[in-house]
Protein backbone atom coordinates (compact mmCIF):
# COMPACT_ATOMS: atom_id res chain seq x y z
CA UNK A 1 0.00 0.00 0.00
CA UNK A 2 1.04 3.61 -0.52
CA UNK A 3 1.50 5.58 2.63
CA UNK A 4 3.48 4.34 5.54
CA UNK A 5 3.32 6.70 8.44
CA UNK A 6 5.16 6.31 11.68
CA UNK A 7 6.30 2.75 11.56
CA UNK A 8 5.87 1.93 15.18
CA UNK A 9 2.32 3.10 15.82
CA UNK A 10 -0.45 0.59 16.10
CA UNK A 11 -3.09 2.45 14.18
CA UNK A 12 -4.63 0.62 11.28
CA UNK A 13 -1.52 0.12 9.25
CA UNK A 14 -0.94 -3.36 7.99
CA UNK A 15 0.59 -5.22 10.89
CA UNK A 16 3.79 -6.03 9.12
CA UNK A 17 4.28 -3.05 6.86
CA UNK A 18 7.99 -2.30 6.68
CA UNK A 19 8.69 -4.67 9.49
CA UNK A 20 11.20 -7.40 9.19
CA UNK A 21 9.75 -10.35 10.96
CA UNK A 22 11.69 -13.32 9.81
CA UNK A 23 10.93 -16.92 10.62
CA UNK A 24 9.24 -17.88 13.79
CA UNK A 25 11.54 -19.38 16.32
CA UNK A 26 11.13 -22.91 17.62
CA UNK A 27 10.63 -23.51 21.31
CA UNK A 28 13.33 -25.03 23.41
CA UNK A 29 12.66 -28.21 25.25
CA UNK A 30 12.48 -26.53 28.59
CA UNK A 31 10.08 -23.96 27.24
CA UNK A 32 7.80 -26.68 26.02
CA UNK A 33 7.78 -28.12 29.48
CA UNK A 34 7.24 -24.76 31.08
CA UNK A 35 4.10 -24.23 29.05
CA UNK A 36 2.92 -27.76 29.56
CA UNK A 37 3.23 -27.55 33.31
CA UNK A 38 1.44 -24.25 33.40
CA UNK A 39 -1.48 -25.61 31.44
CA UNK A 40 -1.65 -28.68 33.62
CA UNK A 41 -1.70 -26.65 36.78
CA UNK A 42 -4.25 -24.30 35.36
CA UNK A 43 -6.54 -27.18 34.42
CA UNK A 44 -6.74 -25.90 30.88
CA UNK A 45 -7.97 -29.16 29.48
CA UNK A 46 -8.58 -28.06 25.96
CA UNK A 47 -5.45 -26.02 25.64
CA UNK A 48 -3.30 -28.74 27.10
CA UNK A 49 -4.62 -31.17 24.53
CA UNK A 50 -4.17 -28.61 21.81
CA UNK A 51 -0.64 -27.80 22.85
CA UNK A 52 0.50 -31.37 23.19
CA UNK A 53 -1.03 -32.36 19.91
CA UNK A 54 0.43 -29.34 18.17
CA UNK A 55 3.91 -30.29 19.31
CA UNK A 56 3.47 -33.95 18.53
CA UNK A 57 1.81 -33.62 15.18
CA UNK A 58 3.93 -30.84 13.73
CA UNK A 59 0.93 -29.97 11.65
CA UNK A 60 0.25 -26.59 10.17
CA UNK A 61 -2.28 -24.53 12.01
CA UNK A 62 -4.94 -24.96 9.40
CA UNK A 63 -4.52 -28.72 9.47
CA UNK A 64 -4.49 -28.87 13.22
CA UNK A 65 -7.72 -27.04 13.86
CA UNK A 66 -9.41 -29.02 11.13
CA UNK A 67 -8.64 -32.36 12.74
CA UNK A 68 -11.52 -34.76 13.37
CA UNK A 69 -11.85 -36.90 16.44
CA UNK A 70 -11.73 -39.94 14.23
CA UNK A 71 -8.37 -38.84 12.88
CA UNK A 72 -6.64 -39.48 16.15
CA UNK A 73 -8.97 -41.73 18.11
CA UNK A 74 -11.00 -44.87 17.79
CA UNK A 75 -13.97 -44.77 20.04
CA UNK A 76 -12.57 -43.80 23.40
CA UNK A 77 -9.04 -44.82 22.65
CA UNK A 78 -6.56 -42.34 21.29
CA UNK A 79 -4.30 -43.96 18.74
CA UNK A 80 -0.55 -44.13 19.07
CA UNK A 81 -0.11 -42.95 15.56
CA UNK A 82 -2.13 -40.93 13.16
CA UNK A 83 -2.00 -40.14 9.48
CA UNK A 84 -3.28 -36.85 8.23
CA UNK A 85 -3.61 -35.47 4.75
CA UNK A 86 -2.04 -32.05 4.61
CA UNK A 87 -4.33 -29.46 3.17
CA UNK A 88 -1.63 -27.40 1.59
CA UNK A 89 0.29 -30.09 -0.18
CA UNK A 90 -2.22 -32.91 -0.34
CA UNK A 91 0.34 -35.26 1.01
CA UNK A 92 -0.08 -37.54 3.98
CA UNK A 93 2.05 -37.26 7.06
CA UNK A 94 2.26 -39.73 9.83
CA UNK A 95 3.02 -38.77 13.36
CA UNK A 96 3.28 -40.38 16.71
CA UNK A 97 1.14 -39.33 19.60
CA UNK A 98 3.10 -39.49 22.81
CA UNK A 99 1.87 -40.91 26.05
CA UNK A 100 1.05 -37.67 27.76
CA UNK A 101 -0.61 -36.29 24.68
CA UNK A 102 -2.87 -39.30 24.50
CA UNK A 103 -3.74 -38.73 28.09
CA UNK A 104 -4.52 -35.09 27.52
CA UNK A 105 -6.59 -35.91 24.48
CA UNK A 106 -8.52 -38.63 26.22
CA UNK A 107 -9.36 -36.26 29.01
CA UNK A 108 -10.36 -33.57 26.59
CA UNK A 109 -12.56 -35.83 24.50
CA UNK A 110 -14.33 -37.11 27.56
CA UNK A 111 -14.64 -33.65 29.00
CA UNK A 112 -16.12 -32.21 25.83
CA UNK A 113 -18.14 -35.33 25.07
CA UNK A 114 -16.86 -35.43 21.53
CA UNK A 115 -18.09 -38.01 19.06
CA UNK A 116 -16.15 -39.73 16.32
CA UNK A 117 -17.28 -37.60 13.42
CA UNK A 118 -16.86 -34.27 15.12
CA UNK A 119 -14.01 -31.87 14.88
CA UNK A 120 -11.50 -32.30 17.62
CA UNK A 121 -11.65 -28.63 18.47
CA UNK A 122 -15.19 -27.54 17.66
CA UNK A 123 -16.16 -23.95 17.31
CA UNK A 124 -18.46 -22.33 19.75
CA UNK A 125 -20.57 -21.09 16.92
CA UNK A 126 -22.82 -23.53 15.14
CA UNK A 127 -22.29 -22.01 11.75
CA UNK A 128 -18.54 -22.42 11.88
CA UNK A 129 -16.96 -25.81 11.42
CA UNK A 130 -14.13 -25.61 13.90
CA UNK A 131 -11.83 -23.41 15.87
CA UNK A 132 -10.40 -20.76 13.62
CA UNK A 133 -6.72 -20.46 12.94
CA UNK A 134 -7.05 -16.93 14.21
CA UNK A 135 -7.99 -18.15 17.62
CA UNK A 136 -5.34 -20.80 17.53
CA UNK A 137 -2.77 -18.13 16.82
CA UNK A 138 -4.04 -16.13 19.74
CA UNK A 139 -3.89 -19.09 22.05
CA UNK A 140 -0.32 -19.74 21.01
CA UNK A 141 0.51 -16.15 21.73
CA UNK A 142 -0.95 -16.52 25.21
CA UNK A 143 1.26 -19.50 25.87
CA UNK A 144 4.35 -17.69 24.75
CA UNK A 145 3.58 -14.69 26.88
CA UNK A 146 2.77 -16.85 29.85
CA UNK A 147 6.32 -18.07 30.06
CA UNK A 148 7.81 -14.68 29.44
CA UNK A 149 8.93 -14.90 25.84
CA UNK A 150 8.57 -12.30 23.14
CA UNK A 151 5.30 -13.04 21.33
CA UNK A 152 6.47 -11.48 18.10
CA UNK A 153 9.17 -14.09 17.73
CA UNK A 154 6.87 -17.08 18.03
CA UNK A 155 3.69 -18.16 16.33
CA UNK A 156 1.70 -21.17 15.28
CA UNK A 157 4.50 -22.24 13.06
CA UNK A 158 6.65 -22.37 16.13
CA UNK A 159 4.73 -25.47 17.13
CA UNK A 160 5.43 -27.14 13.81
CA UNK A 161 9.04 -26.23 13.92
CA UNK A 162 9.71 -27.13 17.51
CA UNK A 163 9.76 -30.90 17.41
CA UNK A 164 11.41 -31.04 14.03
CA UNK A 165 14.23 -28.88 15.24
CA UNK A 166 14.64 -30.83 18.44
CA UNK A 167 14.82 -34.09 16.58
CA UNK A 168 17.31 -32.73 14.12
CA UNK A 169 19.50 -31.33 16.85
CA UNK A 170 19.45 -34.55 18.74
CA UNK A 171 19.82 -37.05 15.94
CA UNK A 172 21.14 -35.07 12.98
CA UNK A 173 18.82 -37.24 10.99
CA UNK A 174 17.52 -35.02 8.24
CA UNK A 175 15.74 -37.87 6.59
CA UNK A 176 13.63 -38.36 9.67
CA UNK A 177 12.74 -34.72 9.86
CA UNK A 178 11.75 -34.75 6.22
CA UNK A 179 9.36 -37.60 6.82
CA UNK A 180 7.98 -36.03 9.95
CA UNK A 181 7.23 -32.77 8.24
CA UNK A 182 5.88 -34.49 5.18
CA UNK A 183 8.18 -32.71 2.77
CA UNK A 184 8.58 -34.31 -0.62
CA UNK A 185 12.18 -33.38 -1.16
CA UNK A 186 15.15 -33.14 1.07
CA UNK A 187 15.85 -29.71 -0.36
CA UNK A 188 12.64 -28.41 1.13
CA UNK A 189 13.61 -29.64 4.53
CA UNK A 190 17.03 -28.15 4.21
CA UNK A 191 15.58 -24.83 3.22
CA UNK A 192 13.14 -25.01 6.05
CA UNK A 193 15.68 -25.72 8.72
CA UNK A 194 18.27 -23.50 7.15
CA UNK A 195 21.08 -25.99 6.99
CA UNK A 196 23.94 -26.09 4.61
CA UNK A 197 23.12 -28.31 1.71
CA UNK A 198 26.40 -30.16 1.51
CA UNK A 199 26.26 -30.73 5.16
CA UNK A 200 22.75 -32.03 4.88
CA UNK A 201 23.29 -34.33 1.96
CA UNK A 202 26.36 -35.76 3.48
CA UNK A 203 24.47 -36.52 6.61
CA UNK A 204 21.57 -38.00 4.75
CA UNK A 205 23.89 -40.36 2.97
CA UNK A 206 25.54 -41.44 6.12
CA UNK A 207 22.18 -42.03 7.67
CA UNK A 208 20.89 -43.98 4.72
CA UNK A 209 23.63 -46.51 4.82
What is the per-residue DSSP string for 84-135? EE-TTT--EEEEE--HHHHHHHHHHHHHHT--TTSBSSB-SSSSS-B--HHH
Distance CA 119, CA 9 (A): 39
Site for DNA contains 87 (CB under 7 A)? yes
Could you say which of 133, 147, 172, 176 contacts DNA (CB under 7 A)? 133
In this chain, which of 28, 157, 172, 175 binds DNA, going by CB under 7 A? 157
Helix axes 133-146, 29-41, angle to 10 degrees: 100
Question: Does 5 engage in binding with DNA (CB under 7 A)?
Answer: no
- Residue choice 127, 148, 170, 209 for contact with DNA (CB under 7 A): 127
Cβ proximity to DNA: between 21 and 74 the closer is: 21
Give yes or no for a contact between 164 and 179, defined as CB atoms under 8 angstroms apart: no
- Only one of the segments 13-21, 35-43, 96-104, 166-174 lies at the binding site for DNA (rule: CB under 7 A); that segment is 13-21
Q: What are the CA-CA distances from residue 204 to residues 8, 172, 187, 189, 190 (Å)?
A: 44, 9, 11, 12, 11
In degrees and rounded to multiples of 5, residue 24 shows phi and psi of -80, 140
What is the smallest separation between the CB atom of 166 and DNA, expressed in angstroms? 16
91 binds DNA (CB under 7 A): yes
Out of 80, 111, 169, 191, point to the residue binding DNA (CB under 7 A). 191
Cα separations in angstroms, 86 against 15, 82, 152, 153: 28, 12, 26, 25
| Candidate ranges 35-43, 83-91, 95-103, 167-175; the one touching DNA (CB under 7 A) | 83-91
Binding site for DNA (CB under 7 A): 1, 10-12, 14-24, 60-63, 87-89, 91, 123-128, 130-135, 137-141, 151-152, 155-158, 160, 181-185, 187-188, 191-192, 197-198, 201
Amino acid sequence: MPTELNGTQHLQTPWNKDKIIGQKRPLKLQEVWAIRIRLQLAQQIRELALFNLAIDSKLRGCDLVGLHVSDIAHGHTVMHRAIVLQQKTQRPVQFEITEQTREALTTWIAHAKLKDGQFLFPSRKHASPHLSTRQYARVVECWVISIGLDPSAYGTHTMRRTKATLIYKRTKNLRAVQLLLGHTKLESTVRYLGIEVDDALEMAEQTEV
